[in-house]
Structure 1
Amino acid sequence: MTIACNKVKSSDHTTKENVSKSPAVENKENNTDLTEGIYFTANGTEPFWKLKITDERITLITPEQTFVTPHTEPIKAADANVKSYKIHTESTELNIQIKHVECLNQASDKQSNYTVDIELKKGLDKDLTILKGCGDYITDYRLHDIWILEELNGKTIDRSDFKNEFPRIEINTKTNQFIGFTGCNQMNGSLFFEKGLLRFSQIMTTKMMCESGSKETEFLKALQSTTTYTIADNRLVLSNSDGSPLVFKKID
């Protein structure tokens, strides 16, 4: 049996963009607190630049200056996985577009999952500086663990649901891969992670015959439909649009 999610489609079409204004702090040196809580990074060459986004700030480092601005919520395209950050101040105009399109860094030959386009206008400059590069989201490190199922679609499971072992997943956030057990078969697959979004995709299982009454199919369907998650009190809660969560307990 093979179960797989459709891949997220990419497009260059965007919706009409609004502008949010916030005070910018420029010409600051890098300090260590900017590296904490980073959920997206990108870089490019000619000239070299680096972008870091956290819940608190957006940092753009160029050879001439480092620009630090408060975080602003991205504008999301309605028909594609495209996010735009628009920051205008009295001294700086910064427009960032992140597209879910595979990107190859020509200098390092590193393959990334996102293409990044930046428009930067400084001070009294009449022209925009155009920066192009590649980036990736950084998967939440708290997911990196072994989790055993406690609740399926909002109901506590017991031995009548899974006669052998309870389902479990082991998540590797460094590779964005997972392995696990469905209650009957072994499984593996890939993670799709963005800020506030989690999907279990390309799920494959072995083909052992399951005992009657096993809820393996129900478990796999729920896992495949996951879109968001929360972590608290050693519990991982996977949610979907139906509002029927999967609850896992962390294995110590």
Structure 2
Amino acid sequence: MKITTIFCSTLFAAFVAVSCSTNTNTAKLKPRTDVSISNQNWYLVTDSDVVKGLYNKEVSLIINETNSTVSGFSGCNNFNANLSKSNGTISFGNISETKMACPNLKEEQAFLSMLKNVNRYEVVGNELHLFKDNILLLTFKTT
């Protein structure tokens, strides 16, 4: 129960912080859409903390531009989706996931819902910013 509470709190805080914060450090770097975002582990972050899911596993995704797919871990379940990407636009469709019963499904569904709403991306340093129009929805970091 304690892990569930910690995960739920962390994931909720991640969504709120990423959606509402501005990062003044990114003003120094020019956002790019011409760099490869493929075949890297991208970890969901809030400020500099990686969001952890069930069993302390990182919420993450891996983009495969060659196959136009994305896969990852959404906090409790693994997921797969189709990818459409071109000149700074990106979208994720036909998201499917495993169906493990977890106490934190609301947070996971919120994450997947945000992913479905993404229509634009930027790469800033080692961060992948996913937007709905001009609203930052999710920030991922790679190592």
The interval holding the TM-score normalised by the smaller chain is 0.5 to 0.7
Please name the residue that 1:114 is paired with: none
Query: What per-residue deviation string (whole Å, max 9, x for no partner) do you get for residues 111-151 of structure 1?
Result: xxxxxxxxxxxxxxxxxxxxxxxxxxxx9551112101103
TM, length-normalised to structure 1? 0.39
- What is the distance in 1 between the residues matched to 2:34 and 2:135? 22
Query: Which secondary structure state, in structure 2, belongs to the residue aligned with residue 143 of structure 1?
Result: coil
Cα-Cα RMSD? 2.5
TM, length-normalised to structure 2? 0.66
Query: What displacement does 1:196 show?
Result: 2.4
Runs of 4+ in 1 over 2 A off after TM superposition: 156-159
2:98 corresponds, among 206, 217, 242, to 206
**Is 2:125 the counterpart of 1:233?**
yes
- What is the distance in 2 between the residues matched to 1:163 and 1:212? 8
- What is the distance in 1 between the residues matched to 2:139 and 2:61? 11
Structure 2 spans left out of the alignment, 5+ residues? 1-32
Query: What displacement does 1:158 show?
Result: 4.9
Write 1 or 2 for the structure with the bigger share of helix: 2
Query: What displacement does 1:242 show?
Result: 7.3
Write 1 or 2 for the structure with the bigger share of strand: 1
**Is 2:43 the counterpart of 1:148?**
yes
1:187·1:205 contact (CA, 8 Å) conserved in 2? Answer: yes
Distance 1:192 1:212, change over 3 A: closer
Query: Which secondary structure state, in structure 1, belongs to the residue aligned with residue 110 of structure 2?
Result: helix
Please name the residue that 1:195 is paired with: 87
Please name the residue that 1:217 is paired with: 109
Using the aligned pairs only, state the percent identity.
29
Q: Which amino acid aligns with 1:143?
A: I
Query: What displacement does 1:221 show?
Result: 0.5
Query: What per-residue deviation string (whole Å, max 9, x for no partner) do you get for residues 173-221 of structure 1?
Result: 1111111111100111111112221001111000001224761011001
Structure 1 or 2, whichever has the larger Rg, is 1
1:163·1:214 contact (CA, 8 Å) conserved in 2? Answer: no
Count residues in correspondence: 108
- What is the distance in 2 between the residues matched to 1:200 and 1:140? 19
